[in-house]
A and B are shown apart, each in its own frame.
Chain A
Amino acid sequence: MYSRAYKTAVTIPPLAWVTIFLLIPYTILFCYSFWSVSSLQVIVHNWNLQNYEQLFRNPLYLTVLLRSIRIAGAVTLLALLLGYPLAYYLSFHAAKRKDMLYQLVIIPLWASYLVRGYAWKTILGSDGVLNGFLQYLHITHRPVEFFLYSPFAVILTLTHIYTPFTFLPIYASLEHVPRNLVEASHDLGASPFSTFLRVILPLSLPGVLAGATFAFVLTLGDFLAPLLVGGPSGIMISNIVVSLFGAAYNWPLGAAISLCMLLLVVTLLFATERLERRFTIS
């Protein structure tokens, strides 16, 4: 088998990576969350729970956190509603167009996130494409302001950006559904719709869970889309963290919020991981 030296050699790089880029930063973050900022704008190392108290007492943080969760939920739902039918069509009915359509779903991922964010800004703005079009059709007479700088704009942008991430695992799991099971279902008298509900959907659940997790976790931590198209009413929790580490200069509170989000995400990942394993059949 492999020598000891070889085993050590292949273990060290990932271990070093995890230690340097994850464990140490998180430990530092963890320490920061128990410190505080003095009136002289200096971070003092007096261990306390003030940051966590503030987090739960100040309604601003909770409101924004809940809004972030709502937005993440909405994006997840929309990404599933768009991604699943698309993946199903590609996997089961696209035939010769499969490869081309697959590429069409993937290609937007090559474009920079910022480009896609700005694209929506151009589309939704008061002088934007959408308003221009609506006025041209005389459906509206003045620019509609609420398209841009709203939770709606954030949801729309993030749905556009993260749907491919939801699509991919669903598509992969649908491709793994043995086609003879579909035939067996028809053979036993189940209609195509019933076959979908009783065979295809249950067997694709691991992909649905993975896709939903991607969309939810990525949206929850997103700060660029709210920055670009969110406006004041579309602020999300990451924007607050960014400002706490930046202009507001309150690293300890920023660290406490970050850790809470981390806890939320890890719990979620753990739960979906367990669920996925339950739905995955060897």
Chain B
Amino acid sequence: MNVAASPASAERAAGDALLSIRKVEKQFAKRPVLCGISLDVASGEFLTILGESGSGKTTLLRLIAGFEQLDGGEIWMAGERLDQTPAYRRQVNTVFQSYAIFPHLSVFENVAYGLRAKSVPHGEIPTRVTQALAMVKMSEFAESAPSRLSGGQQQRVALARALVNRPRVLLLDEPLSALDANLRRQMQVELKSLQREVGITFIFVTHDQEEAMALSDRIALLRAGRLEQVAEPREIYGHPATAYAAQFIGQTNLLRAVVRNGIATAGPISWPSNGPSGAATFSLRPESIRLSSASQGVESDDATAHFHAQIQNQTFGGAMDLLEIDCGNSHLLRARVPSPGPLAGPQEFEFVAGDAVRVRDGS
């Protein structure tokens, strides 16, 4: 298992895990899709399952919802076996990627669907539906036919339809992927504030790492059916456990280095590293590399690595420029620096040794 949870999140998960996924296995036509997934989700948490398409993230969500059956392992919710409960008895609701709004029912009836199915007292239904529609700012569309709604509006109806049931866990399957960029950003903000407002546990599936970082309390990074890393966004960005995690979440430079006597060496660059000796891979974010302010001859402290490099390419990006630099032997690195004006030829660069994070390289 490739799970490296941060101490804080591990503590929280152990404290009051609402949902507990234990050694879950799933195959499709004998092809493994999920292999030994274990994950605890705390009450009120916003957890994102992040992964490329085909990583098994939607399958994991469908297992929690009850649309697929486990081939191994268990899923528990609040001390009860969830995986042996039929989908329609689970206190879990889903916002589908394609919204799955009932086309033959009005917006109001779509939202009321779950309440009617669960025989909520008749008098209570209009109040709760109205509240739910107000929450997603869709009150004026209550009597509309779904076919008249835009994608973003259908999205809101789908959200209201799920939340009106007051589920213990809300599952969201790439709910924003069909929206255009602007609407998407707006919905991200609304989704996050909605989650804080209702205090329901959200499990959010996406392939978009920026969306994951913007929204989540924790990210569970899934790769080919296995959990790569589960941690808070800052933790996973600052201390990626694996080369894959470092590359998938944000941009990075992977330095294949050799560690000997507390010094890591990758081509012409070396820096102090107190890990075990031997071959190792380090992740160095482009923004960790900066142009040396110090001129030649000035001694710096041990914790900073210095190196020369040729500027290969400079891309102007407003406040920050992206530099492609060659440190010799065609050892290419990317650096993101505050726009320095046009640069050319050899330059001095430096980075803080601690920013080169040793990662497992399992590829």
Q: Does A190 contact B88, Cβ atoms closer than 8 Å?
A: yes
- Residues of chain B within 8 A (CB-CB) of A183 are 65, 67, 87, 94, 96, 100
Q: Which residue of B lies closest to A281 (CB)?
A: B103
- B165 partner residues in chain A, CB cutoff 8 A: 188-189
B43, CB-defined interface residue at 8 Å:
no
Residue B281 CB within 8 A of the other chain: no
Could you tell me if B102 and A184 are in contact, using CB atoms closer than 8 angstroms? yes
Find chain B residues with CB under 8 A from A186 CB: 66-67, 86-88
Interface bits A192-214 vs B (CB < 8 Å: 1, else 0): 10110011001100000000000
Q: Which residue of chain B lies nearest to A190 when distances are taken between CB atoms in the complex?
A: B117
Q: Name, among A181, A186, A202, A282, the residue most crowded by chain B CB atoms within 10 Å (CB to CB).
A: A186
| B282: interface (CB < 8 Å) | no
B161 at the interface (CB under 8 A from A): yes
Count of residues in B whose CB is under 8 Å from the partner chain: 25
Is B247 in the interface zone, CB < 8 Å from A?
Answer: no
Whether A281 contacts B88 in the complex (CB less than 8 A), given A180-B96, A189-B118, comes out as no
- Is A99 an interface position by the 8 A CB rule? no
Contact B104 A203 (CB under 8 A): yes
A202 to B88, CA, bound (A): 20
List of A residues within 8 angstroms of B93 by Cβ? 187-188
Does B98 interact with chain A (Cβ within 8 Å)?
yes
A270 to B177, CA, bound (A): 43
Report A150 CB to chain B, min CB distance, Å. Answer: 42
Interface of A is mostly: helix
Q: Does A239 contact B (CB under 8 A)?
A: no
Let me know if B89 is at the binding interface, CB within 8 A: yes
- Tell me, yes or no, whether B53 is within 8 Å of chain A by CB: no
A194 to B103, CA, bound (A): 17
B42, chain A: closest CB distance, angstroms: 23
Within 8 A of A (CB), among B70-128: 86-89, 92-94, 96, 98, 100, 102-104, 113-114, 117-118
A178 within 8 A of B: yes
Judge whether A189 and B114 touch: CB under 8 Å.
yes
**Chain B residues whose C-beta falls within 8 Å of the C-beta of A195 in the assembled complex:** 88
User: What chain A residues lie within 8 Å of B102 (beta carbons)?
Assistant: 181, 184-185, 199
Using a CB–CB cutoff of 8 Å, the interface residues on chain B facing chain A are: 65-67, 86-89, 92-94, 96, 98, 100, 102-104, 113-114, 117-118, 145, 147, 161-162, 165
Other than the known A187-B87, A199-B104, A202-B104, what 18 A-B pairs have Cβ atoms closer than 8 Å?
A180-B100, A181-B102, A183-B94, A183-B100, A184-B96, A185-B117, A186-B66, A186-B87, A187-B66, A187-B162, A188-B114, A188-B161, A188-B165, A189-B89, A189-B114, A189-B117, A281-B103, A281-B104
**A→B interface (CB under 8 Å):** 178, 180-181, 183-192, 194-195, 198-199, 202-203, 279, 281-282
